[in-house]
Amino acid sequence: MRVTPLTGRFGADVTDIDISRPLSDSELTDLRSAFGEYSVLAIRDQVLTIDTFEAFALQLGSFGDTPYITPVDGHPNVLRLLREADEAGPLFGSGWHSDWSFQAQPPSATLLYGIDIPPAGGDTAFIQQEKAYDALSDGMKQLLANLQGVHSARRSYGPKGTFGQRDDRRSMEIIGDETALETRLHPLVRTHPDTGRKSLFVNEVYTVGIDGLHDAEAKPILDFLFSHCRRIDFTCRVRWQQGTLTMWDNRCVQHYAIDDYFGHRREMMRITLAGDTPK
């Protein structure tokens, strides 16, 4: 297995490994080590069926829970992310976010496999939240230490959310409901359960407030954190190729699907892995 960094801070391309077959203990150890170091891995030149995709995911952990989106028939833990060449409207995955942070135990990782890739465009951008936290002043770290963010799916999947209403023109079947209005509290600063590193745990899509603060008080803090996280030196970008499987650590990374490939079809398969309660 060869690991080539994408940037000087995080993210890496992985080659010379075949994940369509069961990995050996040493291969799994090397892959986990690279994931812990780089947070985002783009594993290139893979040929996966839906069954081998699931089998690879289960070598890394158990499946996470995926609400609001109809999965692949017969494969309840796999989503088909499809956008036809002439499809308009909001792009699923756009906006900086950490997958399903509104859940009590958000997914530890997301795995996305490219089946039909545009000739250009459709990149996925990432933010390293540990680097963003490290760059804060001691005073800001102290301010955030005991605060909890309010997370909700309402902006995306609530009745008035971006995907809150059925749209037959959309290739993906996304069905929001009233449960999206529920809220969940998570610390603004969480500690990674494997590495012990601290990171910010906020995102523009699902973090809607700060517990115990009025909206007028919380907004300036969140706006600063959102802006701070987007600093270019905390980012990397994966350029997709057919047969690439990209996996990222939702516990310390945000991501953004870039909508710049109108006129081209894009199809992916996605699995999330179960996580723990942020602490």
214 carries an active-site annotation? no
Mean pLDDT along residues 213-238:
98
Q: Which residue has the higher pLDDT, 143 or 166?
A: 143
Would you state the pLDDT for residue 80?
Answer: 97
Asked whether residue 167 carries a pLDDT value surpassing 90, the answer given is: no
Nearest-angstrom CA–CA distance, 209 and 218: 6
Q: Enter the pTM of the model.
A: 0.96
Q: Which of 151, 186, 251, 270 is catalytic?
A: 270
Candidates 80, 184, 255, 266; catalytic one: 255
Mean pLDDT of 178-192: 97
Q: For the chain, what is the radius of gyration of the CA atoms? A: 18
Structural domains of the chain in order of their starting residue, each with its CATH number: 2-273 (3.60.130.10)
Catalytic member of 99, 154, 184, 251:
99
What is the DSSP track for 197-249? -EEE---TTTEEEETTS-HHHHHHHHHHHHHHHT-GGGEEEEPP-TT-EEEEE
Question: What percentage of the chain reaches a pLDDT higher than 90?
Answer: 94
pLDDT at 128: 98
Give me the torsion for CA of 136, 138, 139, 144, rounded to 10°: 60
Return the minimum-mean-pLDDT range out of 105-119, 163-177, 199-213.
Answer: 163-177
97 catalytic residue (yes or no): yes
Given 83, 97, 154, 192, which residue is catalytic? 97
E-strand ranges in 16-147 read 40-43, 79-83, 109-116, 124-128
Average pLDDT in the 127-146 region?
A: 98
**pLDDT at residue 165, as a whole number:** 83
**Active-site residue, 255 included:** yes
Per-residue pLDDT, 57? 98
For residue 116, give both structure tokens.
Answer: 């039909």
* Confidence band for 130, pLDDT divided at 50, 70 and 90: very high
What is the pLDDT averaged over residues 193-220?
A: 98
Is the pLDDT at 117 greater than 90? The verdict is yes
Share the mean pLDDT of the chain: 97
Q: What is the pLDDT of residue 219?
A: 98
Under the banding of pLDDT at 50, 70 and 90, the label for residue 188 is: very high
pLDDT per residue over 14-49, tens digit each? 999 999 999 999 999 999 999 999 999 999 999 999
Q: How far apart are CA 246 and CA 33, in angstroms?
A: 16
Model confidence at 127, pLDDT cuts 50, 70, 90, reads: very high
